[in-house]
Structure 1
């Protein structure tokens, strides 16, 4: 018993004819008949009987067909996976990003791509930028997004975005009527701050200090999205990345340009000690496209 005999048997079961099985396999009809005879001799029982409708499997052949179908189903699955790998639609990719990106925006931006890749296993985690750099250096991540550059022999760093922070206010706030908000305008305004270990907090605090404005710290929250929720409910104002709080309607939350402009960078960190998988390369391209609308580099 060999694979060619089983292929002829399987094709004949599917088509009901040795002639059509030959066409399916790309061989001659006599070759199929010869393979079927050899398989029947090996099995020790008749495989098909000839009827007006073509070749009908015997009871014993039907029992054999169950296992043969299983075998070819597994083969077809392998073939699909091979095509998926070739077309960059299969694999495992792990991505870790700061909370401002991972909490909502990346899920929203990458969902259409992931929906079209049913064989791609995707993991998204949230960590601080220093921790992300450590994980990439330890080869525990495929892609890390960091707001801090990282110089390490085992890490490849690529700046993929420079974004401008925006001021968010309750839609009913008097300052919401302006097109631009200056740091000086936020003097004495109740401010929703991020946690002390958040890298963007240092950037925001520096902007207040440079402009000689004392920030009226009122509430500290762990996530930029949480700050947006407080602002939308009229509790205070905040400064956040431009890709945060996009789901809030204009009648709830106002987003205004902040002056002087306050920028932050996003770096894509990948392990340099090993080549990226095809799936990781394609997902990296999707991430670059997702952040491009906010990129101020140009």
Structure 2
């Protein structure tokens, strides 16, 4: 008994004809008949009888066909799985990103990709950049997005975006009519600040210090999205990445800030094992997703 005999039997049972079985398998009718005879000899019983021009399977053949169908269903599942793996549509991928990216933007940007990959199991963690670098180095996640550079022999690091922080104002704020906000103009504004362990806070505070401006911290929040929520409700102003607060487009405005405050986003991956095809495809999609905010090339656009 060999796979070609099983294929000939399976195709004949499916099509009800030796001729059509040969067409399905891409071989001649005599070749199918020869395989069927060999299979019947191996089994030790008759598989088909003639009824006029029709080929009728015996009871024994129908019993055997149930198991053969299961076998071929299994091989078809394996073939579909192999095809999904080859097309990077199957597997497990874990990503960790700072809250500014993970809270809202990545969910919005990656949803179309994941909708097209129903067999891909995706995990997104919100972590601080120092913790993300540790997770990548320990191979506990497949992809890390960090605003801190990381030099480690077991980690590959690539800058995928350099974004410019923007000034976030209530839509009816007196400064909203300006296209560029100077740090000096925020001197007396109630400021919605991020927590002290946020990696962007040091850069923001430095910009105020360079200009000799005292920042009036009124409210401290853990997330940039939360800061935008307070700004939308008129509680103050803030400085945030351009990709946060997108759900408040009617209540807040984003304005260019001078001097500029820029931050890099690094894509980190473990290099001690080959990345899965699914992880490679997702990393490529992330590069495309952040491209609209990458200020390393092209003009700045604020809305």
TM-score of the superposition, structure 2-length normalised? 0.91
Residue 295 of structure 1 is matched in structure 2 by: 294
Residue of structure 2 in register with 1:129 after alignment: 129
Mean alpha-carbon deviation: is it higher for 108-117 or for 18-27? Answer: 108-117
In structure 1, the residue matched to 2:209 is 209
Q: Any idea what SS the aligned residue of 1:226 has?
A: helix
Aligned residues: 297
Task: Work out the CA distance in 2 between the residues paired with 1:66 and 1:218.
Answer: 73
Match of 2:300 in 1: none
Task: Sort the Cα spacing of 1:175 and 1:56 in 2 relative to 1 into closer, same or farther, 3 A.
Answer: farther
Give the direction of change, closer, same or farther, for the CA distance of 1:245–1:44 in structure 2 (3 Å limit): same
Aligned to 1:37: 37
Residues 262/20 of structure 1: CA separation in 2 closer, same or farther (3 Å cut): same
Which runs of 5 or more structure 1 residues have no equivalent in the other structure?
none
Aligned alpha-carbon RMSD (Å) = 1.9
The equivalent residue for 1:219 is: 219
Aligned positions of 1:83-94 closer than 5 A: 83-94=83-94
* 1:151-195 C-alpha deviation (Å, 9 max, x unpaired): 111111111111100111111222212212221222222221112
Q: CA deviation at 1:129?
A: 0.4
> Partner residue of 1:259?
258
Which residue number in structure 2 is paired with residue 175 of structure 1?
Answer: 175
Report what 2:65 is aligned to.
65
Match of 2:26 in 1: 26
Greater shift in the superposed pair: 25-34 or 163-172: 25-34
Question: What TM-score results when the alignment is normalised by the length of structure 1?
Answer: 0.92
- Deviations 1:60-94 (CA, angstroms, capped at 9, x unpaired): 43333232222111111211222233333333222
- The alpha carbon displacement at 1:98 in A equals 0.6
Q: What is the alpha-carbon distance in structure 2 between the residues aligned to residue 248 and residue 53 of structure 1?
A: 74
Partner of 2:82, secondary structure, is helix
What are structure 2's unaligned runs of at least 5 residues? 298-303
Moved over 6 A (4+): none
**Could you say which residue in structure 2 is the equivalent of 1:150?**
150
Moved more, 167-176 or 28-37: 28-37
Pairwise CA distance, 1:243: 1.0
Distance 1:42 1:196, change over 3 A: same
* 3-state SS of 1:247 partner: helix
Counterpart in the other structure of 1:3: 3
User: Within 2, Cα distance between the matches of 1:52 and 1:178?
Assistant: 90
